[in-house]
């Protein structure tokens, strides 16, 4: 008498599962890139308002240069994030004098309590933002 061993293959191999997951991840990434909405660029006024609130609650001091936003921590200025403000032409300091902005100059400092170091910022198109 012969006993035949029949092996039933129930289930998927690891290779088949990896291939299916790869295909699903590629398809979902493609659809995400195709269907996502473009994020509008945040305006300088909105960014300043956000940092004023952030400064009020965290006690941090922020500053703007033409290329970045910095934060004052442990006695030094550290880059907080890249933020292009090359369209800002000049500012009016707290004494009322108009000053041109140099490349790496910190022209706006936001301290806790909505305090700013300038009265007004002027853009290249002569629009401006005034601070209290």
With 80 as the cut, is the pLDDT of residue 128 above it?
yes
pLDDT of residue 21: 94
Report the mean per-residue pLDDT for the chain: 84
Query: Cβ neighbours of residue 55 under 8 Å, at least 6 residues apart?
Result: 61, 62, 110, 111, 112, 113, 114
Q: Tens of pLDDT along 47-104? A: 888 888 889 888 899 999 988 999 999 999 999 999 888 888 888 888 888 888 887 8
Q: Is the pTM higher than 0.85?
A: no
Element (DSSP H or E) covering residue 105: none
Indicate the domain borders of the chain.
44-130
Q: Tens of pLDDT along 12-29? A: 889 999 999 999 998 888
Q: Do β-strands 76-82 and 88-93 pair in parallel, antiparallel, or remain unpaired?
A: unpaired
Vertex 41: Cα angle to 127 and 102 (nearest 5): 50
């Amino acid at each position: 008498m012969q006993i035949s061993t029949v092996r039933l293959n129930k289930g998927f191999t690891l290779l088949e599962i990896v291939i299916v997951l790869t295909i699903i991840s590629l398809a979902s990434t493609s659809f995400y890139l195709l269907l996502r909405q473009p994020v509008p660029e945040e305006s300088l006024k909105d960014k300043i308002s956000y940092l004023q609130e952030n400064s009020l609650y965290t006690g941090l001091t922020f500053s703007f240069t033409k290329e970045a936003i910095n934060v004052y921590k442990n006695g030094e200025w550290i880059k907080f994030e890249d933020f292009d403000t090359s369209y800002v032409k000049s500012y009016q300091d707290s004494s009322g004098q108009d000053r041109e902005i140099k490349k790496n100059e910190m022209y706006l400092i936001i301290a806790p309590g909505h305090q700013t170091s300038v009265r007004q910022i002027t853009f290249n198109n002569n629009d401006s933002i005034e601070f209290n």
